[in-house]
Structure 1
Amino acid sequence: MEQAAELFMKLAVISSAISRLDEKFRHSVVRSDLINTLALKESVQSTRIEGTQVTFTDMVNDIHKTEQKQEHIEVLNYRNALAIGQERINNGYPLTTRLIMELHHVLMEGARGANSNRGEFRKVPNWIGPTKRFEDAVYIPVDAGEIEDYLMNWETYLNKHPYGGKLDVGHLPKGEFILDENTHPLLKVAILHAQFESIHPFLDGNGRLGRIMIALYMMQSEQLSSPIFFVSEELEKQRAKYYHLLNETRGSNPKWHNWLNFFLDAAGRMAEKLNVLLDQADQIAKAGKEKCDGYTEEIVYLMTFRYPNITAVQAAEHARIAPSTARRTLNALAEKELLFKDPSQKRNVEYFNYDVLGLFDR
């Protein structure tokens, strides 16, 4: 019970930080524009956990290239899957195995393992380990034939029983406590993530998909109004510990307290970091708006919080203005040093908002 008290005391502090974050975000000058850049940073960090070497700066610098590297495709797929999930949740669709399969299909398009049954549960054994050899496995997930049963239980825990029934938890030993389907969403999402990774329903992409679901569940459970709670950055910093503690939740003697404590710590650091980032983004945006002349400059400037590397064609399309107007506006912003453009570029000129990029590339 001491462990339970420790978790709930920590939970109260972190929950308060997340509430502050959501309130700030609702009233932020750059609310909708910042989501895209936050999602790109999350996409980079989540794919880095899987061993890729791509960086946020790489993605921003190469975002307009016609042909993308394999690792860049994985990052963009992650962001696309996250956006589709956000749209589904906003439209009232809950997280279900059906949605998970849809997101997996998006996640794996043209990526490594793309031939591994996109959007379909695996039909063969799989294992988790430092190599691709079965004998090096540190964990062997459930048999392929049991995946649907396990996910049905997982989905019931996620969304609760459709008719108000309770999950059967069996006999609870003296001195122990249970985090049932009515527990606080932050603890619940930590459990859901660990369980999903243990089931490992797909041949590839399970980790990335499991981390997408963290952000989506925080929206579904109304902890946040937008998918901005991304913990991959903090998990990636302690990747080996992250994998180790996930593995400890498995087997006949699972150590759930260690995992939940680790997840809450990561969530707490991320909540505070996002609170600071949002304050700084608003300060930059307000100072920049004061230098803008007229509505068009202001709209295009704020757009660079969504696209910190932007072109005139892109600005024209999203602001619904003529390409010539977009180019003239971007040049005016560059002259005011709100944006930077390379003087040597004559065609397909890119404009960078390095003030925004500085918030993320740390």
Structure 2
Amino acid sequence: MHRPPPGQYVTLSTADEPYQAFVPAPLPPVPPLAWTPALRRRFDDALVALGRLDAITALLPNAALLLYSFVRKEAVLSSQIEGTQSSLADLLLFEIDEQPGVPLDDAHEVSRYVAALERGLALLRGGLPLCSRLLCEMHAVLLDHPRGRGKAPGEIRSSAVWIGGSRPGNAAFVPPPVDALPACIAAFERFLNDDPEATSPLLKAALAHVQFQTIHPFLDGNGRIGRLLIVLQLVADGVLREPLLYPSLFFKTHRSLYYELLNEVRLRGDWERWLDFFAEGVQASAAQALVTAHALLALVNADRDRIATLGRAASSALVVHQALQRQPLATSTALVKAAGLTAATVNKSLGHLSALGIVAELTQRQRGRVFSYRRYVELLNADLPPAAA
């Protein structure tokens, strides 16, 4: 179904030429969405997949350890969509003050995504609703790195931006002008908080993502904040207890279509194709996350059984093994702190884990050795495309 564009174009001009900026109409869409049986099934399948993923939070005793790694997968993937080249291993190395295989700025930028999500969750769980203040605080954290500090971190933009092209006059898309931002953001906040009417959580997440990207309230980082908003919305509305979903894997795999469908909403009001794509992405991402979760937990349980054969050494080795699930690339010094054991005990345990083939040393040096929970890292990376893909 094709509608008029869900908003209006306003004509503006620079010193050299006129151009048109798009101001989106408030959500929900008017006229109402056309819910075909196929689209309803797509949303039903997505909700079932999310329910299964969320269930592992309660059913599996160590599922919380997955959160550390899954949040970092989403950070890497969302940042790769924007052009950074950091892999998951690069991020994990950066977090333990080791040299990643990419420029430090790339790894630093991805690490701020993790910090921004943690900040948003803390504010949400502290009672702040999803609102511009929460998004601005996340944005301030996201852009707290050398490349971002000159791009007004934490502030709604006070100048025009455009997407594609060298200037507004030849851009592929120009978001709302500065004077339209307060009304756009106020209406967006009301929609997020079910004012004037409630919207089902998954539909709300789908619509809000497009609207946020269209408003483009910041000078930089809009794509990453917009993708963070998907998972935060699902947590805020109780669909997920923890942000275990990493939807950017689907968006990165289908990046051209992702951008095309966002644009089709703005140009032709084609919400239904976007909704179908979004729900398919959520279903696929949730199903993949569940497969990865079960594979990781099966590995952990099998390795725990092997460690139990160590006899008296098993107790300390299990504590180190537990620490490695939270941080699968770690220095021996970091493991001493995480495990609460002496350096001598940790090093003996690492020797046992290495002999069992569970842990591999990545460095050949006497001090500051880096160890990898090898198969755990391999499973985490199994569904990740190359950074440059």
Determine if the TM-score, normalized by the shorter chain, exceeds 0.5: yes
On the 8 A contact 1:81/1:107 being kept in 2, the answer is yes
1:120 aligns with 155
1:174 aligns with none
2:249 aligns with 233
The whole-number CA distance in structure 2 between the counterparts of 1:115 and 1:64 is: 26
2:190 aligns with 156
The whole-number CA distance in structure 2 between the counterparts of 1:152 and 1:342 is: 51
Matched, 1:269 2:284: yes
1:279 aligns with 294
On the 8 A contact 2:333/2:343 being kept in 1, the answer is yes
The whole-number CA distance in structure 2 between the counterparts of 1:71 and 1:261 is: 33
Going from structure 1 to structure 2, the CA distance change for 1:342 and 1:196 (only over 3 Å counts) comes to closer
Runs of at least 5 residues in structure 2 that lack an aligned partner in the other structure: 1-32, 309-313, 383-389
1:292 aligns with 307
Q: Could you tell me which of 173, 177, 180 is aligned with 1:143? A: 177
Deviation at 1:37, TM superposition (A): 0.9
SS of structure 2 residue aligned to 1:250: helix
SS of structure 2 residue aligned to 1:217: helix
The one-letter code of the counterpart of 1:115 is G
1:336 aligns with 356
Matched residue count = 342
Q: Could you tell me which of 91, 97, 111 is aligned with 1:65? A: 97
SS of structure 2 residue aligned to 1:329: helix
Deviations 1:123-168 (A, max 9, x none): 0111111x4433331111111122122111111111123xxxx2xx
1:65-84 residue pairs with structure 2 within 5 A? 65=97, 69-84=104-119
The whole-number CA distance in structure 1 between the counterparts of 2:187 and 2:142 is: 24
1:238-253 residue pairs with structure 2 within 5 A? 238-251=254-267, 253=268
Q: Could you tell me which of 325, 336, 354 is aligned with 1:305? A: 325
Deviations 1:50-93 (A, max 9, x none): 12222223333454336761111110000111112222223333
Going from structure 1 to structure 2, the CA distance change for 1:157 and 1:122 (only over 3 Å counts) comes to same
Using the size of structure 2 for normalisation, the TM-score is: 0.83
Q: Could you tell me which of 220, 231, 243 is aligned with 2:236? A: 220
The one-letter code of the counterpart of 1:147 is L
The whole-number CA distance in structure 2 between the counterparts of 1:208 and 1:342 is: 31
The whole-number CA distance in structure 2 between the counterparts of 1:321 and 1:92 is: 37
Going from structure 1 to structure 2, the CA distance change for 1:45 and 1:266 (only over 3 Å counts) comes to same
Deviations 1:327-356 (A, max 9, x none): 232222222221111473322111101111
Deviations 1:271-328 (A, max 9, x none): 1101111111110111111122444322321221221111122112222333333223
SS of structure 2 residue aligned to 1:249: helix
On the 8 A contact 1:218/1:229 being kept in 2, the answer is no
Going from structure 1 to structure 2, the CA distance change for 1:139 and 1:290 (only over 3 Å counts) comes to same
SS of structure 1 residue aligned to 2:121: helix
1:257 aligns with 272
Q: Could you tell me which of 130, 138, 157 is aligned with 1:103? A: 138
The one-letter code of the counterpart of 1:238 is H
1:171 aligns with none
SS of structure 2 residue aligned to 1:116: coil
CA RMSD of aligned residues (A): 1.9
The one-letter code of the counterpart of 1:112 is R
2:128 aligns with 93
The whole-number CA distance in structure 2 between the counterparts of 1:343 and 1:123 is: 48
Deviations 1:246-268 (A, max 9, x none): 111214x3110111111111111
On the 8 A contact 1:35/1:228 being kept in 2, the answer is yes
The whole-number CA distance in structure 1 between the counterparts of 2:238 and 2:315 is: 34
1:133 aligns with 167
Q: Could you tell me which of 167, 183, 205 is aligned with 2:221? A: 205
2:67 aligns with 35
Deviations 1:153-207 (A, max 9, x none): 111111123xxxx2xxxxxxxxxxxxxx523211110100100000000000000
Using the size of structure 1 for normalisation, the TM-score is: 0.89
